[in-house]
Amino acid sequence: MQIIDVNVSKPYKVFVGENLIENTANMIEDICNYKNVVIITDDIVETLYLDTLKKSFPQDKNIFSFTVKNGEQAKCADNLFAIWSFLAENHITRSDLIVALGGGVVGDLTGFIASTYLRGVKYLQIPTTLLSQVDSSVGGKTAINIPQGKNLVGSFYQPIAVICDINTLSTLSDKIFSDGMGEVIKYGCIYDKNLFELIKDIDDKNVLEKIITRCISIKAEVVCQDEFDTGLRMILNFGHTIGHAVEKYHNFTDYTHGQAVAIGMIHITKLSEKFNTTPIGTSDKIKALCEKCNLPTECDVPNDVLFDVCCVDKKNLNNVINLILLKDIGECYIQKLNHSEFKDFLNL
């Protein structure tokens, strides 16, 4: 088992290994005290891992669970209010523990609920998808979507720990596994050329654990320097500004988050190549790796639509768009553009 320290305002550890879910209670025994447990999951993960997780807790604990429908649409205000009510009806207090069991959607939703109910209840992340293990479960970002955009309402709220059981990845469909590869490739692009090269061997289980651990270590290193996303942490958004626009354009149904990020990484790099800020051919390298990982590579969203959606993105500060561009594979920088400059960048 690998352990990564996340040394933010409330430090915690990320555990990476096999057969961890059945040992959850033992793993957090020295981390926190709790009376009751509420597990929030989705209707797919529920059938796979909910019973195993419940059985890991002592018999004297009351275990409650709430299940949402699988998919991005679950990160909505309706579920937010429904779960708040569920917690109140079951007399959950700040002495209890909330557990997020599922992918990024469940993690984001649960984290926001934990941060807001009673102004903050302890919560544990148990991510069950590749994307959530390498990215969304670590760093304390929580959010829900509203009709105007993705993740526009949320908070920064750190979990007590993150437990990444890589055995859960064996039950993922090829599409959902590939979805996570969008974020994995991102880390190689912005931070680690060796990781980028290693990704081609992802089918080797030993390599997979190494890749997951490296991605989490990169995120922890970045987040520890910029917990509240005002500077360096923005580099983790490579591909996301356009990716979120792709998701919204398709009403969060046609593309998964990782697929949209893959499209966003390639499209933004093609644009920066035209502006001579990124070496020609860089986008082709990213495209080739995305294709190997069964990720889409073409952006079908018109640039004028990209402009409109990106201008209301949460990373748009004082009418300035913060774009993450590559100097080369493994090295990135933040490019600030006002709306006029961003139009020029999009060739509008």
The set of residues, in sequence order, having a beta carbon less than 8 Å from that of 126 and lying 6+ positions away, is: 21, 24, 53, 99, 100, 101, 102, 162, 163, 165
Instruction: Answer yes or no: do 79 and 108 share one domain.
Output: yes
Instruction: Answer yes or no: do 336 and 313 share one domain.
Output: yes
Q: How far is CA 24 from the centre of its chain?
A: 21
Assess whether pLDDT exceeds 90 at residue 127: yes
Assess whether pLDDT exceeds 90 at residue 204: no
Instruction: Answer yes or no: do 100 and 160 share one domain.
Output: yes
**Which of residues 141, 171, 201 is at a domain's end?**
171
**Are residues 125 and 96 in contact, defined by beta-carbon separation less than 8 angstroms?**
no
pLDDT at residue 32 in the model: 93
Instruction: Answer yes or no: do 154 and 31 share one domain.
Output: yes
Please state the rounded mean pLDDT for residues 309-315. Answer: 73
Assess whether pLDDT exceeds 70 at residue 315: no
Residue 263, Cβ density class (10 Å: 0-12 exposed, 13-18 middle, ≥19 buried): buried
What digits encode the pLDDT tens for the residues 214-268?
999 999 999 999 999 889 999 999 999 999 899 889 988 899 999 999 999 999 9
Q: How far is CA 151 from the centre of its chain?
A: 11
pLDDT at residue 337 in the model: 92
> What is the C-alpha radius of gyration for the chain, rounded to an integer number of angstroms?
20
What digits encode the pLDDT tens for the residues 53-101?
999 999 899 999 999 999 889 999 999 999 999 999 999 999 999 999 9
For residue 252, the one-letter residue type is F
**Which of residues 151, 171, 191 is at a domain's end?**
171
**Which of residues 120, 150, 171 is at a domain's end?**
171
Question: Rounded CA gap, 219 and 211, in Å?
Answer: 12
Can you give the three-state secondary structure of 253-266, one letter per residue?
A: CCCCHHHHHHHHHH
Question: Rounded CA gap, 3 and 232, in Å?
Answer: 24
What digits encode the pLDDT tens for the residues 143-199?
999 988 888 899 999 999 999 999 999 999 999 999 999 999 999 999 999 999 999
Assess whether pLDDT exceeds 80 at residue 205: no
CATH number at residue 78: 3.40.50.1970
Instruction: Answer yes or no: do 243 and 158 share one domain.
Output: no
Instruction: Answer yes or no: do 251 and 124 share one domain.
Output: no
Average pLDDT, the chain: 94
Instruction: Answer yes or no: do 8 and 123 share one domain.
Output: yes
List the domain range (segments joined by +) for residue 54.
Answer: 2-171
Which tokens in the block code for residue 162? 């993150």
Please state the rounded mean pLDDT for residues 304-312. Answer: 86
Residue whose C-alpha is closest to residue 150's, from 82, 68, 74, 252: 252
CATH number at residue 288: 1.20.1090.10
Instruction: Answer yes or no: do 45 and 153 share one domain.
Output: yes
Apex 306 CA angle, 233 and 338, nearest 5: 60
What digits encode the pLDDT tens for the residues 12-64?
999 999 999 999 999 999 999 999 999 999 999 999 999 999 999 998 999 99
Domains: count for the chain: 2
pLDDT at residue 191 in the model: 97
Please state the rounded mean pLDDT for residues 209-217. Answer: 96
What confidence tier does 316 reach under pLDDT thresholds 50, 70, 90? low
Which tokens in the block code for residue 348? 């509008």
Residue whose C-alpha is closest to residue 42's, from 15, 63, 73: 73
Q: Quickly count: other Cβ atoms within 10 Å of residue 95's Cβ.
A: 11
Question: Rounded CA gap, 125 and 41, in Å?
Answer: 11
Instruction: Answer yes or no: do 235 and 315 share one domain.
Output: yes
Please state the rounded mean pLDDT for residues 310-336. Answer: 86
State whether residue 116 is helix, strand or coil. helix
Assess whether pLDDT exceeds 70 at residue 311: yes
The set of residues, in sequence order, having a beta carbon less than 8 Å from that of 130 and lying 6+ positions away, is: 169, 172, 176, 177, 179, 180, 181, 183, 184, 212
Instruction: Answer yes or no: do 49 and 195 share one domain.
Output: no
Instruction: Answer yes or no: do 156 and 230 share one domain.
Output: no
Instruction: Answer yes or no: do 338 and 203 share one domain.
Output: yes
What confidence tier does 312 reach under pLDDT thresholds 50, 70, 90? confident
What confidence tier does 347 reach under pLDDT thresholds 50, 70, 90? confident
